[in-house]
Chains A and B, each alone.
Chain A
Amino acid sequence: AQKITQTQPGMFVQEKEAVTLDCTYDTSDPSYGLFWYKQPSSGEMIFLIYQGSYDQQNATEGRYSLNFQKARKSANLVISASQLGDSAMYFCAMREAWSGGATNKLIFGTGTLLAVQP
């Protein structure tokens, strides 16, 4: 069964420093997609970054980059130059393989609570 593991329940980082949030995944499907979402206390899940299993380059979106290590089945999120507004829950998710073909169904990890300190 496909699974996402986030082993860091909480993280602290100083403002303006970089932080890495860990994510490992388990799948036997060669084709999959990995996502990171941010969830502030308001509840809305905000899409941050996507990495496809066949992408040759690590994904980057502004201050967010994804450290994709396929052999180790890890997809860590790196946030550079942390800001106070980055304080939130961060979820790693994988698009599930399905016998019916491509799907939008996401499997989420348990999340990491990031606190940015001034």
Chain B
Amino acid sequence: DAGVTQSPTHLIKTRGQQVTLRCSPKSGHDTVSWYQQALGQGPQFIFQYYEEEERQRGNFPDRFSGHQFPNYSSELNVNALLLGDSALYLCASSLGTQGETQYFGPGTRLLVL
């Protein structure tokens, strides 16, 4: 049973650049959520995708955008990177949007210089 996978594992960018992170959900799951985890903090919800649409969004600026593909995989895009965007980005998948347990991937560590 394939779990949630994310790529790349690590990424280094400079301020102002753009980045794309990728996520494949756990087998059988159709909903993907993205979280940002700054050092020493708990994860913060960015947004959730279901049926290829953004269904709910956390308190993040429009620089953060996403996409979900027909195979349920998802991308997180961040434009005009700031130093404060340095964090671990976690993808979580679930079946549906009715409060089911989410399973997380290993994350992508982004460092913005």
Interface size range of chain A in the complex: 20 to 34
A47 to B92 CA separation, bound complex (whole angstroms): 11
A4 to B44 CA separation, bound complex (whole angstroms): 12
Q: Shortest beta-carbon distance, A54 to chain B, in Å?
A: 12
Interface size range of chain B in the complex: 20 to 34
Identify the closest chain A residue to B98 (Cβ): A102
**Contact flag A45-B56 (CB < 8 Å), given A105-B45, A108-B43:** no
A45 to B52 CA separation, bound complex (whole angstroms): 24
Q: Which residues of A contact B (CB under 8 A)?
A: 4, 33, 35, 37, 42-47, 50, 91, 93, 95, 98, 100-111
Q: Which residues of B contact A (CB under 8 A)?
A: 31, 33, 35, 40-45, 48, 55-56, 58, 88, 90, 92, 94, 97-107, 109
